Amino acid sequence: MTVLPIILVAASLVLAQAPTDPPSNQTGRLPALGWNTWNAYGCNINESKVLAAANQFVSLGLKNAGYEYINIDDCWSVISGRDSSGRIVPDPTKFPNGISGVASQVHALGLKIGIYSDAGTNTCAGFPGSLGHEVTDATTFASWGIDYLKYDNCNVPNNWTDSSSPPGGDWYNSNSAIRYRQMAAALAHISHPIQLDICIWGLADVWTWGARVGHSWRMLGDASPTWSYIMNIIKVNVAHLDAVDFFGHNDMDMMEIGNGDLSIQEERTHFAAWAFFKSPILLGTDLSQLTSEEIGIITNKELLAFSQDTIIGTPAMPFIAFPGAPTTSPPEYYAGASSKGIHVFIINTSSSTASKNFALSNVPGLGTSGNFKIHDMWSSSDLSGIFSANSSFTVDVQAHDTVAYLITRA
């Protein structure tokens, strides 16, 4: 048995050399608000489409509502390889002014710009990846003025994967995490802060180490514009809400509002859940096609304020609505604190559920005495009446809809 010790020595050499640079604290304190090309256009992207979205951020009031990042996803570079200096080259047909030309126009609108790469040899669509080129690529992105990097997980060489639990059981020391740590180190050594999204699809227990490496981390594979995706990612996410706080956010993937055939109620639940779990909210549709009702959802001031609270960084968590309440998967009742008070969110997940109710005394943080008023965050209006701590509150929720309340002392 001489082979085993040699493997262990090799593994510990990689570990000893793996960088440990923490993510920048100049960016990513709050969940990112923005837009990304992928769900809208896939690989069929170009400068006009990116700049159209940036201009719509201004004209549709999204910039005023707090949306900031315009992010370019996969397929932006020349697929055949790097230039003679080893740099990735922007596709000159799609981006005739380069990425730096787009970046300067996005910055001129008072917005920020994101780019995409991959912790493997190639991106998911087969374009050059950054594994082994981290310093060159981080430096190139910084020279273009990039503010955000989505870093994907396709085309990973065999010797960089993890076939079992890493040494010591800490996934921070896994090959998967080290691939991301190498990019984090490269980003740490450039002067310009770049927010890092670890697009690792919920693998390698990323919620246990994501905040030591980046600012947000994907919890599952790609989103689809379906109710089943929304229910599934909420189920996955509720198991790991303890990982979420300032500078570290579970990423539930980019938004599908405007895509597929989601009902308006389902779109409200989609937006509310991403906001109350403090996921990044990156819109993913042709913004010019959104209805005024959909724009109303994505610019809802009170839900965005919960997401972007500067005093409280933790998300809403499931709670037991009344003694003996049935449990569902995903849960339907959530409560969380903001700097304005205590919030309750209720999702109607089922076509057979009865009217929703909760005992005020069961809401964490509310206290068990005194009187309260209840404010509807969607309509920005107070409900009539005063509710005592010993009362129950009942509401009819439409199929697949989510109600959102702020509860404060009367």
* Site residues, ligand NAG (CB under 6 A): 14, 25, 46-49, 96, 157, 159-160, 175, 348, 351, 353, 355-356, 388, 390, 396-397, 399
237 or 402: CB nearest ligand NAG: 402
Rg (CA), the chain: 22
Task: Report, in Å, the least distance between residue 351 CB and ligand NAG.
Answer: 3
Cα torsion 236, 181, 146, 86: sign: negative
Nearer to ligand NAG, 12 or 25 (CB): 25
Instruction: Give backbone dihedrals phi and psi of 32, rounded to 5 degrees, phi first.
Output: -65, 140
d(CA 367, CA 362): 9
Residue 207 DSSP label: G
Alpha carbon distances (Å) from 56 to 111, 153, 288, 351, 390: 12, 31, 7, 37, 48
- Nearest-angstrom CA–CA distance, 111 and 129: 26
Beta bridge partners of 321: none
- Whether residue 315 has a cis bond before it, omega within 30° of 0: no
> Would you say how long the chain is, in residues?
410
* Cα–Cα distance, 314 to 171 (Å, whole number): 23
Q: Minimum distance from CB of 161 to ligand NAG (Å)?
A: 9
- Min separation Cβ 65 and ligand NAG, Å: 27
Catalytic residues: 152, 222
Closer Cβ to ligand NAG, 78 or 305, answer by number: 78
Residue closer to ligand NAG, measured from CB, 112 or 356 = 356
In contact, 260 and 226? CB cutoff 8 Å: yes
C-beta closer to ligand NAG: residue 178 or 233: 178
Instruction: Please report, to the nearest 10 degrees, the dihedral formed by the alpha carbons of residues 264, 265, 271, 275 taken in order.
Output: 150
d(CA 157, CA 78): 21
Name which of 170, 185, 195 is nearest 248 in CA terms: 195
Q: How far is the CB of 100 from ligand NAG (least distance, A)?
A: 15
Of 27, 60, 33, 63, nearest to 306 (Cα)? 33
- Least CB distance from residue 120 to ligand NAG, whole Å? 12
Cβ-contact 225, 270 below 8 angstroms? no
Given the complex with ligand NAG, which of 258 and 279 has the nearer CB atom? 258
Backbone angles phi, psi at 329, to 5 degrees: -130, 115
Q: Choose between 116 and 304: whose C-beta lies nearer to ligand NAG.
A: 116
